[in-house]
């Protein structure tokens, strides 16, 4: 945990302090996808217990779920749910005494309006409180032509940078599907789309770094979800080659690219460590935390099966309210 920073949602210069500390310390900030107050509070509790900084992020469907699935306007629900979640985290992060980077996950071409709407809320929040509502957003246009990808990232970053926001971009396709973005058809160790080209990373750096802060999810064979051995072939050396090319071409310091690791579930620990050594500061977590949540709830339900069938034991009249109360599980 960075004790020199005030607890709460960190943005702008404070976000860069956390990022720099991670890269220099050889670790990555866990970026956990959440869907409601139960998962949000669990992440903050874990961060507080471990005296750690953390990134809390929402996908578009996570924001919609936060708002409640009965709202008829799905787009409005995605926006309002994400805004509601952000206000909750701004308030509670201070109480938990932790530094939180607040972020939204993959947004493809069709979800650009969602990101733009959230930036609008951050602009209003900045006018009132001197900081944006969100620390950063991700624009994942990796499935589009690179010219369109980078031009849209440039356009959005020009709007975000003045209020201290960061933009995460993706070059190369992270295999698998994540909340409606991507496809399982991309998976396969021999798929060239899964490997980012260093020249593209250089191009992104030269275009975006003069505008504001951006981070890069570079694909090196990683995929979302968990798949059988042999389907995933990580090549972290792509990250090193990209860093070296930017450093040599632009005469920067060491590891100029701020890199993000998507799709790490089931990855070899040695490959993860190697990726961190090349400047990865953020590692996304979703599949594993979903399973941990489901496994624990499933075990509780199995252990207390009667309480999920009867309010009162049909044989001896024992009340089960204390067992099926959602606060118990």
pLDDT tens digits, 4-57: 899 999 999 999 999 999 999 999 999 999 999 999 999 999 999 999 999 999
Residue 319 has pLDDT above 70, yes or no: yes
* Neighbouring residues of 155: CB distance < 8 A, sequence distance ≥ 6: none
For the question of residue 313 being annotated catalytic, the response is no
Q: Any idea which of 111-125, 171-185, 282-296 has the lowest mean pLDDT?
A: 171-185
pLDDT tens-place string over residues 103-115? 999 999 999 999 9
Confidence (pLDDT) at 220: 87
Confidence (pLDDT) at 189: 45
Q: Please count the residues of the chain.
A: 329
**Contact 193/176 with Cβ under 8 angstroms?**
no
pLDDT class for 184, splitting at 50, 70, 90? very low
How high is the mean pLDDT of the chain?
Answer: 91
pLDDT tens-place string over residues 267-280? 788 989 999 999 99
Confidence (pLDDT) at 245: 98
pLDDT class for 224, splitting at 50, 70, 90? low
pLDDT class for 175, splitting at 50, 70, 90? low
Confidence (pLDDT) at 16: 97
More confident residue, 250 or 186: 250
C-alpha–C-alpha distance, residues 213 and 151, integer Å? 16
pLDDT class for 2, splitting at 50, 70, 90? very low
Confidence (pLDDT) at 186: 46
Q: Which of 53, 105, 186, 286 is catalytic?
A: 105
| Region 8-285: CATH code | 3.20.20.70
pLDDT class for 187, splitting at 50, 70, 90? very low
Domain ranges of the chain: 8-285
Mean predicted confidence (pLDDT) in 249-257: 98
C-alpha–C-alpha distance, residues 183 and 188, integer Å? 12
Residue 212 has pLDDT above 70, yes or no: yes
Residues 269-278: contacts with CB under 8 Å, at least 24 apart: 271/234, 271/236, 274/236, 275/220, 275/234, 275/236, 275/239, 276/26, 276/27, 276/28, 277/26, 278/236, 278/239, 278/240, 278/243
* Neighbouring residues of 307: CB distance < 8 A, sequence distance ≥ 6: 320, 323, 324
Per cent of the chain over pLDDT 70 is 90
Residue 193 has pLDDT above 70, yes or no: no
């Amino acid at each position: 945990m960075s004790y020199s920073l005030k607890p709460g949602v960190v943005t702008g210069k404070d976000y860069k302090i956390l990022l720099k500390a991670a890269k220099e310390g050889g670790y990555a900030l866990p970026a956990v996808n959440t869907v409601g107050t139960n998962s949000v509070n669990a992440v903050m509790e874990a961060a507080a217990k471990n005296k750690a900084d953390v990134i809390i992020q929402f996908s578009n469907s996570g924001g919609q779920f936060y708002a409640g699935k009965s709202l008829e306007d799905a787009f409005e629900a995605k926006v309002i749910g994400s805004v509601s979640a952000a206000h909750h985290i701004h308030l509670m992060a201070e109480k938990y005494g932790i530094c939180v980077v607040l972020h939204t996950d993959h947004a493809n071409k069709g979800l650009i309006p969602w990101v733009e709407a959230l930036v609008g809320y951050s602009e209003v929040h900045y006018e009132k409180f001197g900081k944006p509502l969100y620390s950063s957003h991700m624009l994942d246009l990796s499935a589009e032509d690179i010219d369109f990808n980078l031009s849209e990232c440039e356009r959005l970053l020009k709007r975000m940078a003045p209020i201290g926001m960061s933009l995460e971009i993706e070059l190369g396709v992270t295999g698998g599907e994540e909340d409606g973005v991507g496809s399982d058809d991309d998976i396969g160790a021999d798929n060239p789309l899964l490997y980012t080209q260093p020249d593209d990373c250089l191009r992104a750096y030269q275009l975006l770094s003069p505008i504001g802060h951006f981070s890069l999810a570079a694909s090196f064979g990683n995929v979302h979800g968990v798949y059988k051995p042999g389907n995933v072939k990580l090549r972290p050396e792509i990250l090193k080659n990209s860093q070296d090319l930017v450093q040599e071409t632009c005469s920067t310091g060491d590891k100029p690219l701020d890199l993000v690791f998507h799709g790490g579930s089931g990855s070899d620990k040695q490959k993860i460590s190697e990726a961190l050594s090349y400047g990865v500061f953020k590692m996304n977590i979703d599949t594993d935390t979903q399973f941990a949540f489901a496994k624990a709830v499933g075990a509780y339900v199995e252990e207390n099966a009667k309480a999920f069938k009867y309010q009162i034991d049909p044989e001896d009249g024992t009340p089960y309210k204390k067992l099926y109360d959602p606060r118990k599980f």
